[in-house]
Amino acid sequence: MKIKEIQVKYRDDGNGQIEGYASTFIRKADSYGDVVKRGAFAKTLAERWNGGKGIPFLWAHKMDDLKAFIGTAEAEEDEKGLRFVATFDDTEEAQKVRQLYKDGRLRKFSFAYDVKEEGMVVLEDGMKANELRELDLFEISAVTVPANDDAGVVDVKSAEPEAKSGARNSKKDADRIKQAIALLKEVLGEIEDPEEDETEETDDAKEDPKANEDATSKELDDLNARKDALLSIINKQS
């Protein structure tokens, strides 16, 4: 399986979709030395994707990560290239990617494919290139690294969420943080240098090792109880 990346441009008018070109048929070799022949996607769209429907739209080609499946695309070939429209899922990850395109922090697409047929050609400028004549398309991804500057986003539509998610109660968080800090300071304050403990050992403790062992055990139990309370607060916070 191979991956080809392309730079994008876009506009945003607000519906939770992104529209653009995953590949173009420009007769100028990309950074891999390839050009894509018109018709290269025709067979895979018809046979694998039922006429270009239901193509996975991913983040960074992470096929083994369910959270990276951020939408579904429909694609077709036109005179310029492989044009697609992807609908973003209603998930935090998908809407984050949509926002990145909207803000201009993402400007690229990429597609994963296998080559079924290819061959060397001489372009109009006399340069040689590898012509991709038939491709098997697997998915289209939002990415950060470009290979073909010609392909671009035609449209980015941003869905308005019905309700905000992921907000935290800042007052409760602040109280928990304060409790955790206080407990942490208290626990750390109980930790003394072992050598000091040996030099500060009382005469009574020297004379009664059993009493010293019981005192140490009690201190450890107390520290463990404070540690458990601290961990409980941290777990609630995370």
Checking if the pLDDT of 26 tops 50, the result is yes
Checking if the pLDDT of 71 tops 50, the result is yes
The pLDDT assigned to 209 comes to: 60
Checking if the pLDDT of 140 tops 50, the result is yes
Of residues 163 and 147, the one with the higher pLDDT is 147
Of residues 19 and 75, the one with the higher pLDDT is 75
Sign of CA dihedral 195, 200, 206, 212: negative
Of residues 88 and 201, the one with the higher pLDDT is 88
Of the listed ranges 48-62, 123-137, 141-155, 196-210, the least confidently predicted one is 196-210
Distance CA 51, CA 16 (A): 23
Checking if the pLDDT of 192 tops 60, the result is no
Of residues 113 and 165, the one with the higher pLDDT is 113
Single-letter residue type at 104: G
pLDDT class of 213 with cuts at 50, 70, 90:
low
Checking if the pLDDT of 141 tops 50, the result is yes
Checking if the pLDDT of 166 tops 90, the result is no
Mean pLDDT (the chain) is 75
pTM above 0.85, yes or no: no
Give the relative orientation of helices 209-237 and 170-190 as an angle to the nearest 10 degrees: 160
Transcribe 126-177 into DSSP letters. Answer: S-EEEEEEEEEEEEEEEES--SBSS--EEEEEPPPPSS--S---HHHHHHHH
